[in-house]
Amino acid sequence: MEDNEKKTDAHGSVDAAALQKEITKLREENKKLKADLVKTKPEGEWKNLEKQNAYLKEIIERQRKQLLFQDQMLTSSSIIFAEQERRIQALEDASYDSSQLWRISEYNRRRQDAVSGKTTSFHCPVFYTSRHGYKMSARVYLNGDGMGKHTHMSLFFMIMRGCHDALLPWPFQQKVTFMLLDQNKRDHIVNAFRPDPTSNSFKKPSSDMNIASGCPLFVTQELLMASDSYVKDDTMFIKLVVDTTGLEKL
């Protein structure tokens, strides 16, 4: 009888293990089935979402490129507009009567920039001996240049390449006069020179402008600082005059 109970127990034990194994197998299959069901059921929906997502990305990228292009066009237009404004201003400031009255505003800031080396020089608006004459400009070093550095204000004259150079006599031979205007007593500081015909500064320009020539010792810094006549309300005036005697107008 004990042997039968052992067999039954043994048999029962074997059946329970097999049953547990079968249950585990069914659970795994059920889990897999659910996973397959979850995966396969929205498969079409996922594909649609992926297509929509790809389409939206394409639209966003297209808009990004369009915005980038518009930004580049705007920047380009701004540059062109600024250049046109500069040219218009240059035309408005240009003089055709062989003289130029140069107004230098913000003198103290500009001189400090020259002392610090930030901007050592700058030039005046162009002027002409006549509508079709020599094109000219001037450059000032508020803290001096060359032998006048730190002790003087230096002033130089420049011949620039013009549209009618082929019709003009070369080298340039006209007398040039610099005037630092006294804004109180009219006691102007004047310096004049005649061009050296052998100097490259006065030959027909082969580039935008010739080498500048003029007065490195135009006026001392000491005089400028001691007087309130030449710099008033933070403004200085320089007049440039070119003698056109003997020069035929075109």
* pLDDT per position as a tens digit, 91-101: 666 789 999 99
Q: Cβ distance 193 to 176 under 8 Å? A: yes
Half-sphere exposure (Cβ direction) of 59: Cα atoms closer than 13 Å: 6
Token pair for 233: 């309300």
Instruction: Name the nearest CA neighbour of 126 among 154, 92, 153.
Output: 92
3-state secondary structure at position 130: coil
Contacts of 172 (CB under 8 A, 6+ apart): 134, 159, 195, 202, 203
Asked whether the predicted pLDDT for residue 107 surpasses 70, the reply is yes
- Average pLDDT, stretch 54-65? 79
CA distance 191 to 193: 7
- Average pLDDT, stretch 118-126? 95
Confidence of residue 110 (pLDDT cuts 50, 70, 90): very high
Half-sphere exposure (Cβ direction) of 144: Cα atoms closer than 13 Å: 15
Confidence of residue 14 (pLDDT cuts 50, 70, 90): very low
Pick the more confident residue, 242 or 85.
242
Pick the more confident residue, 40 or 106.
106
For residue 234, give the amino acid letter. D
Going from the C-alpha of 243 to that of each of 26, 66, 172, 177, 208, the distances in angstroms are 113, 58, 11, 8, 23
Q: Cβ distance 160 to 136 under 8 Å? A: yes
pLDDT of residue 62: 83
pLDDT of residue 8: 44
pLDDT of residue 6: 45
pLDDT of residue 48: 74
Residue ranges of domains in the chain: 95-242
Query: To which residue do tokens 């889990």 refer?
Result: 31
Asked whether the predicted pLDDT for residue 143 surpasses 60, the reply is yes
Going from the C-alpha of 151 to that of each of 86, 146, 160, the distances in angstroms are 33, 10, 28
* pLDDT per position as a tens digit, 147-206: 999 999 999 999 999 999 999 999 999 999 999 999 998 899 999 999 999 999 999 999
Is this structure's pTM higher than 0.75? no
Q: What is the mean pLDDT of the chain?
A: 84
pLDDT of residue 3: 47
First and final CA of the chain: distance in angstroms?
Answer: 144
Contacts of 127 (CB under 8 A, 6+ apart): 94, 95, 96, 97, 98, 99, 100, 136, 137, 240
Going from the C-alpha of 93 to that of each of 59, 107, 126, the distances in angstroms are 50, 19, 8
pLDDT of residue 24: 66
- 61-70, 199-208, 222-231 — which one is most confidently predicted on average? 199-208
Span 95-242 CATH architecture? Sandwich (2.60)
